[in-house]
């Protein structure tokens, strides 16, 4: 996002977590009052896969609530004119009709494995809408699908599925492992969007959208986790077997977003999944120590 905005000629103001803890409301408001931004894109969040969400639900709930409360309230106090809050497609009901329209929000039971995270993100959307209704703030929200790309988290305990699979298959190929065993059945279907396409979508929303309803951000296509694993195995050069541990949870059976609202604004993703995986793998290899 920062790269895209800078390339478009905007002055991008950021602070790393080592310099500003967004969970600290007082410091966050002070920072925003000092810099007086024209617009804020709230993409910061505590995120992770099924294992991390199941193990640390308190942190996923409380950290995200604190970040959202600090930044959205702080932006309003600083007089920020535009704000885009990024939720997540994880917030939709577990068995929502596919593809998922924005109107499906809060119409059914959430996926138990990430319920705490989902509730926090839903609160962020409601907070954004509340600032619009009470103060007339030009604040909007969006629900991105599963994201991947350079800068992703490749820690096997806390990462999402795509970077975790890249690392698993890379290490298996490097070590000559005869088999890689993955969680679940491989049958759930997921949609993936490269972060550069997300950035382009966010810019388009800031330019062309000012509605109360959240907007889905995705590519409108999905594949099974099994197919994803096979693609990543090919990209990394792994030729061993792929096994499935069906004693582990699958998560939501399918999660494909209806992106007609975003498409109507003139947005179309540009990076095919296979190309995006190859780019992401090449970036990650460049981050590894020579011995890796």
Residue 65 domain flag: yes
Q: Report whether pLDDT(278) > 70.
A: yes
Residue 2 has pLDDT above 90, yes or no: no
Q: What is the per-residue pLDDT for 8?
A: 85
Residue 290: per-residue pLDDT: 64
Domain harbouring 243, CATH code: 3.40.50.720
Average pLDDT, integer, range 115-123 = 97
pLDDT tops 60 at residue 292? no
| pLDDT value of residue 49 | 80
Per the DSSP assignment, residues forming a β-bridge with 182 are 244
Residues 191-231 have pLDDT tens digits of: 999 999 999 999 999 999 999 999 999 999 999 999 999 99
| Residue 163, in any domain of the structure | yes
Report yes or no on 185 lying in a domain: yes
Model pLDDT, residue 289? 62
Q: What is the mean pLDDT of residues 232-253?
A: 95
* Rounded average pLDDT over 272-284: 98
Task: Output the pLDDT for position 10.
Answer: 84
Residue 292 lies in a domain: no
Evaluate if residue 141 carries a pLDDT over 90.
Answer: yes
pLDDT of 191 reads 97
Q: Render pLDDT for 17-34 as a digit per residue (tens, 0 to 9).
A: 889 999 999 999 999 999
Catalytic choice (31, 92, 117, 139):
117
Asked if residue 4 lies in contact with residue 150, where contact means CB atoms within 8 angstroms, the answer is no
> Which two structure tokens, joined as six digits, stand for 134?
């009470």
Which structural domain range is residue 13 located in? 2-287
C-alpha distances (whole Å) from 130 to each of 76, 124, 141, 205, 253 are 12, 10, 12, 19, 32
Measured CA to CA, the distance from residue 248 to residue 235 in angstroms comes to: 25
Domain count, the chain: 1
Closest CA to 128 of 211, 236, 33, 12: 211
Domain assignment present for 70: yes
Contact in structure between 88 and 43 (CB atoms under 8 Å): no
Q: Please report how the helices 161-175 and 225-236 are oriented relative to each other, as an axis angle in degrees rounded to 10.
A: 40
* Catalytic residue check, 92: no
pTM: 0.90
91 pLDDT more than 60: yes
pLDDT at 168: 98
Based on the number of CB atoms within 10 Å of its own CB, is 259 exposed (0-12), middle (13-18) or buried (19 or more)?
A: buried
């Amino acid at each position: 996002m920062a790269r895209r905005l800078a390339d478009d000629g905007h002055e991008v103001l950021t602070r790393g977590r080592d310099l500003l803890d967004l969970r600290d409301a007082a410091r966050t408001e002070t920072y925003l009052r000092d810099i007086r931004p024209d617009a804020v894109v709230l993409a910061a969040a505590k995120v992770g896969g099924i294992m991390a969400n199941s193990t640390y639900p308190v942190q996923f709930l409380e950290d995200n609530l604190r970040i959202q409360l600090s930044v959205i309230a702080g932006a309003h106090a600083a007089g920020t004119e535009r704000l885009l809050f990024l939720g997540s497609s994880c917030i939709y009901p577990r068995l929502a009709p596919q593809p998922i329209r924005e109107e499906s929000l809060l119409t059914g039971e959430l996926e138990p494995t990430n319920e705490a995270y989902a509730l926090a993100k839903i609160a962020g959307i409601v907070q954004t809408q509340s600032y619009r209704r009470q103060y007339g703030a030009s604040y909007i929200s969006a629900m991105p699908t599963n994201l991947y790309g350079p800068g992703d988290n490749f820690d096997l305990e806390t990462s999402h599925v795509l970077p975790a699979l890249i690392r698993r298959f890379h290490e298996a190929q490097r070590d000559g492992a005869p088999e890689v065993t993955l969680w679940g059945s491989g049958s759930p279907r997921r949609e993936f969007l490269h972060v550069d396409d997300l950035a382009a979508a966010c810019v388009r929303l800031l330019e062309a959208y000012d509605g109360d309803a959240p907007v889905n951000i995705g590519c409108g296509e999905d594949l099974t986790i099994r197919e994803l694993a096979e693609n990543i195995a090919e990209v990394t050069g792994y030729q061993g077997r792929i096994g499935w541990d069906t004693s582990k949870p699958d998560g939501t059976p399918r999660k494909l977003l209806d992106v007609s609202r975003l498409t109507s604004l003139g947005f179309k993703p540009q990076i095919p999944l296979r190309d995006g995986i190859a780019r992401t793998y090449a970036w990650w290899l460049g981050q590894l120590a020579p011995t890796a």
